[in-house]
Every structure is written in C-alpha cells, then in structure tokens.
Amino acid sequence: MDIDKLFKVPKLPAGKRKLPDNPSLEMLKKIKMDTEVPPVPSSSTSPANGTSKNQRATVEEVPDDEDADMEGDFAPGGDADYFAEEDDEGRFFGGGLSSTQKEILNIFDSAGGTGNQDDPDALNITSIRRMLLRFERAVNKNQDQRSKYPDDPTKFIDSEADLDSAIKALLPLAQAPVLAYPELVRSGTVTLLIGLLSHENADIVIDVVEVIHELTDEDVGNEDDDEDEERTAEEALKILIEGLLENSILELLVDNLARLNEAEESDRQGIFHVLGIFENVLGFNPELSTQLVAKTSILPWLLTRVQSKTHDENRGYAAELLSILLQNNRPNRLELGKKDGVEIFLKVLSQYRRRDPVDADETEFMENVFDSLCSALSEEPIKELFLKAEGPDLMVLVMKEKLQARSRAVKTLDYAMSGVSGTASCEAFVEALGLKTLFSAFMGKTSKKQKTGPAPPASEDTSHILGILSSLFSNIPSESPARIRLLAKFVEGTYEKVDKLLEIRDNATSRLKAADAEIAAEKKELLADGDEITSEEEDTWYLRRLESGLFTLQTVDYILAWIAMEDDGIRAHLLQMLDRKSLSMQDIIQTLRTFYDNVDDEPDPPSVAAQGAEERAPSQKEILAALIAALDPSTAPA
C-alpha cells in the first residue's frame, strides 16, 4: 500500500494564486511592511532569549548564520518556544516551529489585523457610486443577453447570477441612508430596480423586493441617538419612497402577489417582503392607504388570503395589513363593504367560536381580524351589512362559549350597537337572547361545567359591556318588549346588577380623585409662576380625567339615571345604597351635568337626517338634558 497516495492532498483549482510551501525571506521583503505591529508591554520578557518581546527584529535583522546556529544550539527542531512552554515537570509543549517561521506568522497576523482597509461598514459616496455602477452594468448585461438569446437560457445564466449578486450587494445601503438614498434616486437606480419587478425570473423579483423591504424599513440609519441624524435619515427615506411611488411600485408589487406561489419557500418569503414594503410605506405616510386600495387589487387579495384554512406567517401579516388599511379611513371601509368583507370577516371569526387559537401568532391574527371589523363598524353601511350577515347572532354565540374570543365579541357588539345607526343591531341582540349572556359576563359568572372558569372581566371588557348597556338604553324604544326585558334584568336577583354598577362607580371615583389631585397641583404650580391656564391645557386635563375614570363614571351614571327614571323599585334601592355611601342623586346629576357640558352635538348620519325632523332620533346631548330634567327639574340645562 502506498501511504503517500493515501494522504495525498487534492490539487487546488487551476488558476488560483497560492503561496509556496515555505515562503522565502526575499518573498516576505516584498510584502508591504509599513503597518506597525501592535506593541507588547515591555515588562513581558521571553524566557527563551531573555529579551523584551516589544523589541521585535525585522526579517532583515536576522542573519542567515545566526539562524543556522539557533537550529543547532537552541532547541530540537529549532522550536522557538521549546523551553518557554515547558511545564514544572519538564514536559514540553513546543509547536515545532523555528523562530523564523514564527516571525513569518507574526508578520502575516499583523498584516491581516491592520492591513485590511476595505471596511464594508464604512460606506462613502465613492463606494456607493461604484456599487450602483456595478448594479447598472449587471442589469444592462442581463437585458442584452436575454434579448440576444431569448430561447437559450445557457447563454444568459451567468449574467443572471451576476445580477443576483449585484442586487443583494445593495442591502448594505440601508446602513447609510443619508448618503445612499438621494444617490439611488439621482442616478436612476431606483427606476432600474423597480423595472426588475417585471423580470421573467421570479428569483430576481424576490431579490428586489427583499432589498426594497430592507431599504424602506422605518429604523434605517436610526441606530444612533442623535435626533439631527434621525431627522436627516427620515428626510432621506422620504426621498426614496417618493422615488419608488413615482415608478408605480404599489401597482407592480400587487401584480407580483398573484404571480408568486406560496407553495415554494422562496416565493413565500417574497410575499412576506412585499407585505412588509406595504407596511413600511403606509407607516411613513398613512394617507397612501386610500391610494393603495383605490388603484390596486390589494383588498381582494388580502380578503382571500385571510380565509386560508391553515395559519402561517403571511396569513397573519395579511390580517395586520387589513387592520392598517381600515384604521381611520372611511373610503377603504366602504370599499370593504362592496367586496363582501364583512361576510368574510364573520366567516373567518366563526372558527373561533368553539376553539381558541393554537399559539400567540394565531391569537394576534384573530385580534387583527376583530380590530378590522370594529374599525369598519364605525360606518353606518357596514353596520347594516353586519346586521344582514347575522353578525349580532354570531357574537352572542361566541360570548356563550367563554373562550378567548369572548372579549373581542363584546368589543365588536359595542361598536355595532353604538349611535343612532346601531338601533337595529340593539334589537337583534335582544332577540338573539344576548341579555342573559351579557349580564353573565358583566357579573363575572362562569359556567358550572367549567372546572376553571375565566377570571372576572377586565377593565376593558367592563368598559365595552357598559357601552353596550348605554346603547341599549339609548336606542331601544320605550315600552317595547325588548326594553321591558332589559329593565327586568336590573330588578332580578335583588337588584344585584344595580349593586354591581355602584361597585364599578366606586372604583372609578377613587381613580378620578387621584387624577384630580395631580391636576390641582399642576394648576397651583402654574398659577404660582404667574402663567395663565390656556384652553388647550384645560382640554388636556379633561382627557386625562376621562382616561382616569371619568369616562367610566359618566357611563355608569348614565345607565343609573335611565333605570332610576323608569322603575320606582330600582330608584328606591339606588337612593338607599347611595345614602349608605354618604351620596345622593345629586352626585349622579352632577356627573351628567359635566357629561352634558363636554359632549358635542354630533351630526346625524345621512339616512337618519333624510327622515326629517319629526322622525329624527334625539342626540346624545338632548338625551342627557332630558335625564337631568327627569331626575331633578330644578337643575335641568337651559
């Protein structure tokens, strides 16, 4: 057996430069030695030669005859560290290298550590322009090769690979937006980049959307805490996004959504980056959401995507983007109704009637769909579609199951039943036997079949339940069967629902007192400094009071006023309980008075205004005035 053949080193690829096995001293002299070797503390001395290590001799200072003597007299094999690395028991750990060989390694180490001047992070305008030029050449070469050999991929495959590398090389530009982004637009690179979204090779398209997703990220260039640098980076991002919009990027991206196949991993990642670009652009300029929905088919695609039977990252991203598009945007909400969006949302949410989401990602998906539906329910036409699709019935069924979706269903009903346009939904809610389920959640009762029932309703749930009760009293006609059933709920159980309202009122009052104390201290400090209290500061303080319990207090007292006015038994019980707390009906009236002074006269919806003044439903301010007058005529507003 030939041992040499067994351990024969494979040949290196032809054409690559390599050093000889043992570099000669003459060869090393040709290496640039102008970089200084980092100094070593002078206190450390080599035990091998007794000299300080920082007194390094260059290769030229080592005579050939001295090197020969060292090989013979210093240590076996000429190992420079033969004795230096010897332990207490005489065992040696030398590396088998002579001093000359170790000096060679030191030279290469120092050259490698200090001689690398091509720092990829240190981008300057010259390197950026060079990078963009390489990209432009790669694009032109690929287009030329494809046009010459359209039926022979072997002719343009190399240019395609070069183009792929040139696109990915643009990713570091996100680290220097102030320099790179204006240059991207000025040089026309943005136009070339957007043009590649129509490339025949889907992999090239995926590379492009990945680069654009990275470049448009809102955090580009914001690693530093300098506010001026962040502001400059935002200005650069604005230049880039405007350049992208001028080249119709939104339309081209939506076209590629239908082109990519999510069964392929690379295409799935491409769709994720496309959705990320939409989020980045809308985060920078929310007003573009109307343009995106009006000029593209993004809304139908998103509605189709959220209906997928299996949950994945892109499905969750689609729901999040829907929530962004519908937030504070009336045209998009109305367009959702035209695309059967309400029906689709209810169909998607129905799957959570009997089961909880399997993980946190699916929980977030469910919440985004609920939020999208709640945003849309701010519009009267959407409320009509919600009622037509039997939305109140589904929400009541979801509430009965007491799963994670219950809280979201309560919130959805609060949005659907609010305002004059929510009257029909209020009636449908009562007909669907929703009162029993609502008051069960309000009282914190759980099913006897459940071993571990849910915790008592959180403050947000309580707020939405109070909102539903407020809408029921405002919208259900007097003397109707539905209203009688509503009042009966407050009578049953020895007025336990009234006591629950007073308990919530006490908690809200305690929180409000703490906030009022802080606001009073701030007012006193301002007056002490001789400053005047402006109307803006008064509005800010009022908003703080609303958040600190005043809103809950107003809603509770609004409900208490209704039930006290309509039922003598409830009124007697309420007065008795208030007296125990050293309170009276005047405290409720005072809250309603504050509510009345700060509520706006909201204009009627078009359909309600068209009914005429005789059939017009009373506004919130008119209802408050009537309640105050009924409870105490002497304090009725003028």
Of the residues 264, 282, 303, the one at which a domain ends: 264
The least confident of 102-111, 177-186, 239-248, 451-460 is 451-460
Question: Average pLDDT in the 550-556 region?
Answer: 95
In Å, what is the CA distance from 367 to each residue of 162, 272, 407?
44, 20, 10
The pair of structure tokens assigned to 176 is 């220097």
Note the pLDDT of residue 44.
41
pLDDT grade for 445, boundaries at 50, 70 and 90: low
pLDDT tens, residue by residue, 478-528: 889 999 999 999 999 899 999 999 999 999 999 999 999 999 998 888 888
Answer yes or no: do 106 and 127 share one domain: no
DSSP notation for 209-269: HHHHHHHT-TTTT--S--HHHHHHHHHHHHHHHHHHHHTTHHHHHHHHHHHS-TTSHHHHH
Give domain status of residue 621, yes or no: yes
Give domain status of residue 410, yes or no: no
Of the residues 264, 295, 327, the one at which a domain ends: 264
The pair of structure tokens assigned to 77 is 């094999």
The least confident of 9-18, 99-108, 244-253, 273-282 is 9-18
In Å, what is the CA distance from 136 to each residue of 19, 167, 188, 189, 194?
36, 10, 9, 7, 13
Give domain status of residue 254, yes or no: yes
Other C-beta atoms closer than 10 Å to the C-beta of 105 total: 11
Answer yes or no: do 158 and 259 share one domain: yes
Amino acid at 266: S
Q: Is the pLDDT of residue 449 over 50?
A: no
Place of tokens 């959407």: 382
| Average pLDDT over all residues of the chain | 81
Answer yes or no: do 170 and 197 share one domain: yes
Query: Nearest to residue 336, comparing CAs of 300, 282, 290, 374?
Result: 300
Answer yes or no: do 224 and 260 share one domain: yes
Place of tokens 């009162």: 435
Answer yes or no: do 230 and 153 share one domain: yes
Answer yes or no: do 83 and 151 share one domain: no
The least confident of 92-106, 149-163, 333-347 is 92-106
**Count of CA atoms in the C-beta half-sphere (13 A) of 308:** 18
Asked if 389 and 343 count as a contact pair (C-beta separation under 8 A), the reply is yes
Give residues with Cβ within 8 angstroms of 507, minimum separation 6.
Answer: 549, 552
**In angstroms, how far is CA 462 from the centroid of its own chain?**
27
Residue of higher predicted confidence among 69 and 371:
371
The pair of structure tokens assigned to 124 is 């300057």
Answer yes or no: do 225 and 90 share one domain: no
Note the pLDDT of residue 1.
47
- C-alpha triplet 616, 617, 620: angle, nearest 5°: 135
Global pTM exceeds 0.85: no
The least confident of 96-100, 221-225, 471-475, 480-484 is 221-225
Q: Is the pLDDT of residue 63 over 50?
A: no
Note the pLDDT of residue 535.
84
Asked if 383 and 342 count as a contact pair (C-beta separation under 8 A), the reply is no
Other C-beta atoms closer than 10 Å to the C-beta of 133 total: 13
Answer yes or no: do 195 and 70 share one domain: no
Give domain status of residue 345, yes or no: no
Note the pLDDT of residue 221.
54
Query: Nearest to residue 253, comparing CAs of 212, 223, 219?
Result: 212
Note the pLDDT of residue 479.
87
Q: How far apart, in Å, do the first and last CA atoms of the chain sit? A: 115
DSSP notation for 420-453: GGGHHHHHHHHHTTHHHHHHHHHHT---TT-SSP
Question: Average pLDDT in the 584-605 region?
Answer: 82
Query: What is the C-alpha separation between 542 and 563, in angstroms, rounded?
Result: 27
**Coil/strand/helix, residue 45:** strand
Of the residues 241, 264, 287, the one at which a domain ends: 264
Give domain status of residue 458, yes or no: no
Query: Nearest to residue 208, comparing CAs of 168, 174, 172?
Result: 168
Note the pLDDT of residue 469.
96
Question: Average pLDDT in the 557-572 region?
Answer: 94
Q: Is the pLDDT of residue 212 over 90?
A: yes
Q: Is the pLDDT of residue 610 over 70?
A: no
pLDDT grade for 239, boundaries at 50, 70 and 90: very high
Query: What is the C-alpha separation between 581 and 589, in angstroms, rounded?
Result: 16
pLDDT grade for 621, boundaries at 50, 70 and 90: confident
Query: Nearest to residue 433, comparing CAs of 489, 378, 474, 475?
Result: 489
**Coil/strand/helix, residue 593:** helix
Answer yes or no: do 79 and 169 share one domain: no
Q: Which domain holds residue 86?
A: 56-115
pLDDT tens, residue by residue, 14-41: 444 444 445 555 554 554 444 444 444 4
Q: Is the pLDDT of residue 152 over 70?
A: yes
pLDDT grade for 69, boundaries at 50, 70 and 90: very low
Question: Average pLDDT in the 147-159 region?
Answer: 83
Length of the chain: 638
Give domain status of residue 390, yes or no: no
pLDDT tens, residue by residue, 280-296: 999 989 999 999 999 99
Answer yes or no: do 227 and 158 share one domain: yes
Residue of higher predicted confidence among 502 and 49:
502
The pair of structure tokens assigned to 248 is 């119709």
Answer yes or no: do 131 and 227 share one domain: yes
Note the pLDDT of residue 616.
65
Percentage of the chain lying above the pLDDT 70 cut: 73
Note the pLDDT of residue 98.
66
Q: Specify the DSSP class assigned to residue 608.
A: H
Domain count, the chain: 3
Question: Average pLDDT in the 72-99 region?
Answer: 52
Answer yes or no: do 84 and 106 share one domain: yes
Query: What is the C-alpha separation between 62 and 49, in angstroms, rounded?
Result: 14
Give domain status of residue 202, yes or no: yes
Other C-beta atoms closer than 10 Å to the C-beta of 328 total: 10
In Å, what is the CA distance from 458 to each residue of 116, 349, 442, 443?
60, 22, 10, 12
Give domain status of residue 365, yes or no: no
Q: H helices of 11-150, where?
A: 25-29, 64-73, 99-114, 125-148
Q: Is the pLDDT of residue 103 over 70?
A: no
Place of tokens 């992208």: 244
